[in-house]
């Protein structure tokens, strides 16, 4: 009797695990297939068709990137390790995160212009705005997200001439004036200016009519994948940077 009960219990567990695996979802990040649109959610195992010359990039509940190239006809599969659980941000402990899928779907389908720009970002040369999600666009004011660890880079669209940059932390008043060399589109954040999460900055380029006001957000290092980082960035006002990060997923 006991053996039969244990066997039945194990069978139920196996069926539950199989159902859970089948219920995994993926979200379309970019698509060259007419039947799949960015932001669309598909269940793992769903048959999809990708014509020759096209490709589709999806993200699973673990944050794993899956790229399928045409011609392809078969089931979409989640698989992979990594990702977090519970809040769409992830903590690197593994497991699926349905909220990650919902958050990415909302981000990608919430703005037609942003979604459509994913492909353009990959094809344009030179890209405008920058293709690198982690540089700070000095031509715009607003929220900016940078990695908590690693160099912080500033970016300008017009790099032909040398310019003088003045940057000030409005919280602790640390300030720096630096020369931006001609021909360089990027400049490392001046070491004299404190980098702090939530701090506000005033940036002025000599010769420009207006100064830029920035609010800095430090992206936590413990997030499980770029998909999780993109969700975090979007939630903190850095939607365009989040879209650029998603555009680079392979």
| pLDDT 10s digits, 81-104 | 333 334 455 444 445 688 999 999
Residues 12, 28: contact at Cβ < 8 Å?
Answer: no
Write out the chain in H/E/C secondary structure: CHHHHHHHHHHHHHHHHHHHHHCCEEEEEEECCCCCCCCCEEECCCEEEECCCCEEEEEECCCCEEEEECCEEEECCCCCCCCCCCCCCCCCCCCCCHHHHHHHHHHHHCCHHHHHHHHHHHHCCCCCCCCCCCEEECCCCEEEEEECCCCCEEECCCCCCCEEEEEEECCCCCEEEEEECCCCCEEECCCCCCCCCCCEEEEEECCCCCCEEEEEEEECCCCCCHHHHHHHHHHCCCHHHHHHHHHCCC
Band (130; pLDDT cuts 50, 70, 90): confident
Sorted by sequence, the CB contacts under 8 Å of residue 57 that are 6+ apart come out as 28, 29, 30, 31, 65, 66, 67, 68, 249, 250
Helix axes 112-123, 98-109, angle to 10 degrees: 90
pTM: 0.79
Sorted by sequence, the CB contacts under 8 Å of residue 218 that are 6+ apart come out as 145, 146, 147, 148, 195, 196, 197
Q: Does residue 17 surpass a pLDDT of 60?
A: no
pLDDT of 77: 85
The architecture that CATH gives domain 135-247 is: Sandwich (2.60)
| pLDDT 10s digits, 145-167 | 999 988 999 999 999 999 999 99
Kindly list the domain boundaries of the chain, sorted by start residue.
Answer: 2-122, 135-247
pLDDT of 89: 53
Terminal Cα-to-Cα distance of the chain (whole angstroms): 53
Residues 114, 39: contact at Cβ < 8 Å?
Answer: no
């Amino acid at each position: 009797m006991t053996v039969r009960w244990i066997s039945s219990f194990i069978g139920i567990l196996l069926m539950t695990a199989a159902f859970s695996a089948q219920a995994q979802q993926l979200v379309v990040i970019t698509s060259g297939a007419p039947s799949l649109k960015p932001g669309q959610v598909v269940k793992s195992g769903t048959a999809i068709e990708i014509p020759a010359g096209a490709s589709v990039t999806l993200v699973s509940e673990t944050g794993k990137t899956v790229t399928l190239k045409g011609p392809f006809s078969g089931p979409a599969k989640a698989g992979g390790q990594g990702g977090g659980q519970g809040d769409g941000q992830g903590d690197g402990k593994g497991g699926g995160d349905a909220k990650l899928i919902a958050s990415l779907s909302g981000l990608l389908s919430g703005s037609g212009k942003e979604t459509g720009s994913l492909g353009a970002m990959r094809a344009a040369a030179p890209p405008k705005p920058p293709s690198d999600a982690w540089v700070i666009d000095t031509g715009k004011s607003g929220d900016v997200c940078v990695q908590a660890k690693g160099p912080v880079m500033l970016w300008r669209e017009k790099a032909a001439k040398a310019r003088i940059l003045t940057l000030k932390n409005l919280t602790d008043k640390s300030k720096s004036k630096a020369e931006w060399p001609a021909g360089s589109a990027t400049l490392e954040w001046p070491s004299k200016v404190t980098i702090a999460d939530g701090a506000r900055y005033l940036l002025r380029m000599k010769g420009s009519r207006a100064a830029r006001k920035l609010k800095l957000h430090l992206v936590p290092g413990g997030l499980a994948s770029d998909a999780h980082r993109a969700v975090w960035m979007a939630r903190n006002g850095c939607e365009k940077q989040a879209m650029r990060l998603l555009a680079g997923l392979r």
